[in-house]
């Protein structure tokens, strides 16, 4: 044990033995406290006891927080869709059941397209990450599909028609579409469309998430159908 110079000659400053410094925080504090109790005045020992008590209280508080059960997830029967302009080519989906399919998510336009044999079968609005959050760009395979029961770890709500993108924590699912990017990173689909997309893609289907999609590779140039041809069902 050694002492160092201190402005207050009545209070020696002690250097804890090397073995004590290798102990856990709680044990270290106890060892140091025992050493100090032999050399410092009662007032200083009392200060150490208060610090130790506060440290122990923080440990207990963290334990109680960890033991709390997670919030019960919320089930929702309806979702907001500020657009209501999804176009679904049911005939194409039925005729080309075993066709080549891929999903395109255009972040800039806040639209998603289900492309079947280089023809657009579904054109729908989406809602991606809000300011301060991020929806990953790139090409992903759908690696997980959960029809119901998937729960958001952020909002504690069910996410019907969940489709995971690759090995990320992000997926496509039913959610609110307020008319602007609003998610924490996932790609929200309208309630009227999510189930149809879910039923028409399988695990392994590619999803391309881009800032702006070039439609030049389509078999037929795509133009938005007339308003009366848009379908919400």
Report the mean per-residue pLDDT for the chain: 83
Q: If we measure between CA atoms, which residue out of 104, 124, 106 comes closest to residue 116?
A: 104
Report how far residue 71's alpha carbon sits from residue 89's, in angstroms, rounded to the nearest whole number: 40
Report how far residue 129's alpha carbon sits from residue 183's, in angstroms, rounded to the nearest whole number: 5
- Residues 124 and 197 both lie in one domain: yes
Q: What is the pLDDT of residues 82-120, one digit of tens each?
A: 999 999 999 999 887 767 899 999 999 999 999 999 999
Q: What is the pLDDT of residues 37-92, one digit of tens each?
A: 555 555 555 777 888 888 888 888 887 777 777 778 888 889 999 999 999 999 99
pLDDT at 27: 62
Confidence of residue 123 (pLDDT cuts 50, 70, 90): very high
80 domain residue, yes or no: no
pLDDT at 35: 61
pLDDT at 28: 64
200 domain residue, yes or no: yes
Percent of the chain with pLDDT over 90: 52
Three-state secondary structure string covering 124-167: EECECECCCCCCCCEEEEEEEEECCCCECCCCCEECCCEEEECC
Please tell me the total count of domains within the chain: 2
135 domain residue, yes or no: yes
Confidence of residue 233 (pLDDT cuts 50, 70, 90): very low
129 domain residue, yes or no: yes
pLDDT at 48: 75
- Residues 91 and 24 both lie in one domain: no
- Residues 172 and 61 both lie in one domain: no
Q: What average pLDDT does this structure show over 178-190?
A: 97
Confidence of residue 228 (pLDDT cuts 50, 70, 90): very low
- Residues 110 and 53 both lie in one domain: no
CATH code assigned at 95:
2.40.440.10
pLDDT at 155: 85
pLDDT at 13: 46
- Residues 101 and 172 both lie in one domain: yes
Q: What average pLDDT does this structure show over 156-173?
A: 96
pLDDT at 137: 98
pLDDT at 53: 86
- Residues 192 and 158 both lie in one domain: yes
pLDDT at 9: 46
pLDDT at 138: 98
Give whichever of 31-35, 49-53, 144-148 has the largest mean pLDDT.
Answer: 144-148
- Residues 55 and 111 both lie in one domain: no
What percent of the chain is helix, strand and coil (3-state, nearest 5)?
Answer: 30, 25, 45
- Residues 136 and 213 both lie in one domain: yes
137 domain residue, yes or no: yes
- Is the pLDDT at 146 greater than 90, yes or no? yes
- Residues 143 and 106 both lie in one domain: yes
The whole-model pTM stands at: 0.68
- β-strand 101-106 against 206-210: which pairing, if any? parallel
Domain with 54, as residue range(s), is: 2-67
């Amino acid at each position: 044990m050694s002492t160092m110079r201190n402005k207050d000659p009545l209070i020696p400053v002690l250097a804890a033995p090397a073995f004590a410094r290798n102990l856990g925080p709680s044990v270290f504090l106890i060892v140091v406290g025992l050493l100090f109790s032999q050399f410092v005045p009662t007032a200083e020992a009392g200060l150490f006891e208060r610090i130790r008590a506060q440290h122990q209280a923080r440990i207990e508080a963290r334990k109680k927080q960890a033991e709390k059960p997670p919030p019960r997830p919320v089930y929702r029967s309806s979702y907001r869709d500020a657009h209501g302009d999804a176009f679904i080519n049911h005939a194409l989906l039925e005729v080309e059941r075993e066709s080549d399919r891929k999903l395109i998510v255009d972040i800039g336009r806040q639209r998603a397209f289900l492309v079947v044999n280089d023809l657009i079968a579904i054109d729908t609005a989406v809602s991606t990450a809000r300011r301060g959050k991020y929806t990953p760009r790139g090409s992903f395979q759908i690696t997980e599909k959960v029809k119901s029961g998937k729960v958001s770890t952020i909002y504690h709500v069910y996410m019907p028609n969940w489709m995971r993108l690759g090995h990320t924590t992000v997926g496509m699912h039913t959610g609110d579409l307020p008319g602007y990017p609003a998610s924490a990173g996932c790609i929200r689909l309208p309630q009227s469309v999510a189930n149809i997309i879910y039923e028409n893609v399988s695990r392994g289907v590619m999803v391309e998430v881009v800032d702006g999609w070039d439609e030049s590779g389509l078999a037929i140039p795509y133009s938005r159908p007339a308003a009366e041809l848009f379908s919400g069902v």
